[in-house]
Amino acid sequence: MDGLILFRPFVITFALNSEKNTLQINMRIIIAGAGAVGTHLAKMLADERHDIVLMDAGEERLANLEANFDLMTIAARPTSINGLKDAGVADADLFVAVTPEESTNITSCILAHSLGAKKTVARIDNYEYLQPKSKEFFKQLGVDSLIYPEMLAAKEIADGLHLSWIRQWWEFSDGALVMLGVKLRENAQILNTPIFQIQKEQPYHIVTIKRMGETIIPSGADELRAGDIVYFMTVKRSLPYIRKITGKEDHATIHNLMIMGGSRIAMRATQLVSDAMSVKIIENDLNRCHWLTDMVDDSVMIINGDGRDYTLLEEEGIDKIDAFVALTDNSETNILACLSAKRMGVFKTIAEVENIDYISMAESLDIGAVINKKKIAASYIYQLLLDADVENVKCLTFANADVAEFIVKEGARVTRSLVKDIALPKGATIGGLVRKGEGILVTGDTQIQPGDHVVVFCLSSMIKRIEKLFN
């Protein structure tokens, strides 16, 4: 266990009932683009009592949103100076441009910055712009942050394929701590026993449980059941042990991958895994196939056809495929395709499910991992709303929960007492911390210090409240 400072892990939850802790948020946020990502962001942030303005040239897209959610809409192009002024950009704490057009997003951020917006974020689809020199160039122009949801989604897919037995994966502080989500089956060794017993002297911390549509931040008395999706906090060298106790040792390494849908996510995911796997992409659009041929490695096979066609799948050797990833623009199609692949013997399936209402259904159908660009983008942008030093914020796709990595400031409230005496809100837990590059699984007697990277798990919409403890 060299390199790991290991304590007896447990879960701490505290009630917060003081009226003075009631959340008061008065941030003005302008979102340009009422597409899938922009609409989801607007709904989420409006629920958190932010002052939201949603801009879009299409009046029809805005009508229902203004009627059903606490936000203001402006029917104008985000590159319109008058439109930006009408939206109150001079007083905006954050301007987010997430239209389908990259050039529009960049231009509108430049304009918003020049008109007074404090922070700007632009959605892009050019990977070159994420290079350090390019990011610095755009920052000088007034674009503070760039987000490429498709690339972030591709990274999640690649992580899930490299570690086939997990549902979700996240690294903190360059991998000093890791979070992984695992679905437990009847063969797991840790079922039906109180968590405080199974965690004794163990190199992991159980931080969140998803069970039958319910998200649980567990106490020591809670027990794990078959069918639970359990989120562990640990270090990389302990992964073989967690794999053993969760009954996943027989899960095969992915060698042969088939992707249905030649999207940008598919293209980027292929670039991340093609060195380790044999990859086939099935795409129904012939022109898209030609585009893919130019964009991916020569070792990747591009097949023009319908990925739902059983005959085609059999001809392309579905019986030898280890993983099937469905990335069309239709959530229902992706779910059904993964179910079919499972029936045909595919070990691992991943579906892009952009309709959030379908995520719980996908979970109940046991199709495997789910990718949602809206949630991925929301995680990144939410990070920008926090005043504390935060490195990572992630929405857990299957669970109504968030995880954030806070960098502890000098004099922060969390440094004034032991962990057991910190007034964490009910529904929150400290998963672990990183100190001088070493992962630490905390106990109640752990003293958090300035400079520590602390990983906190909580129910959704609570991060802003927890942030106050780190200021």
Angle value at C-alpha 91, between 87 and 95, nearest 5 degrees: 65
CA distance 359 to 331: 9
Alpha helices by DSSP H, listed for 226-358, are: 239-245, 264-273, 286-295, 310-315, 331-343
The pLDDT of residue 5 is above 60: no
CA distance 103 to 147: 13
Share above pLDDT 70 across residues of the chain, in percent, rounded to a whole number: 90
Give pTM, 2 decimals. Answer: 0.78
The pLDDT of residue 281 is above 50: yes
Tokens of 253: 């390494």
Three-state secondary-structure class, residue 97? strand
Segment 234-254 shows an average pLDDT of: 90
Residue type, position 26, single letter = N
Worst-scoring range by mean pLDDT, 49-53, 123-127, 288-292, 360-364? 360-364
Worst-scoring range by mean pLDDT, 43-57, 174-188, 383-397? 383-397
Burial of 154 (0-12, 13-18, 19+ CB in 10 A): buried
The pLDDT of residue 400 is above 70: no
The set of residues, in sequence order, having a beta carbon less than 8 Å from that of 11 and lying 6+ positions away, is: 195, 205, 206, 207, 217, 218, 219, 220, 429
pLDDT band for position 182 (cuts 50, 70, 90)? very high
Domains and CATH numbers, the chain: 23-147 (3.40.50.720), 256-346 (3.40.50.720)
Q: Which residues pair with 46 in a beta bridge?
A: none
CA distance 25 to 408: 22
Segment 151-171 shows an average pLDDT of: 88
